[in-house]
Each structure stands twice: as structure tokens, then as C-alpha cells.
Amino acid sequence: ELTGLGLKEAKDLVDGAPKAVKEAVAKADAEAAKKKLEEAGAKVEIK
């Protein structure tokens, strides 16, 4: 839901971690995504 990826693409993203989940997004969108990911147990860095 957050990335818009299908199951295979999401698995490839996770298997390749650490990796960018989203790029070139507004700061507010990045913060919202960070919150959701951290609630799911991810470690998140916004650059």
C-alpha cells in the first residue's frame, strides 16, 4: 500500500535492504511514510 509495489517487487525490495523505498517525495509525505514503517518495525532514515 505504501509503495504501490506488487508482492514480488515488495519481496525483492525487502531482500535487498537497506534500500530506498520512496524517492523525491515531499517532506510531509516522507515523514508519514517513516511513521508507518517504524510502526511496522522498520528502521528508517530520511535523506
Q: Where are the domains of the chain?
A: 7-39
Mean pLDDT of 16-44: 94
- Is the pTM of the predicted complex or chain greater than 0.85? no
Mean pLDDT of 5-14: 93
Residues 6+ apart with CB under 8 A from 37: 2, 21, 44
pLDDT confidence of residue 3: 87
Mean pLDDT of 12-41: 94
pLDDT at residue 1 tops 90: no
pLDDT confidence of residue 2: 86
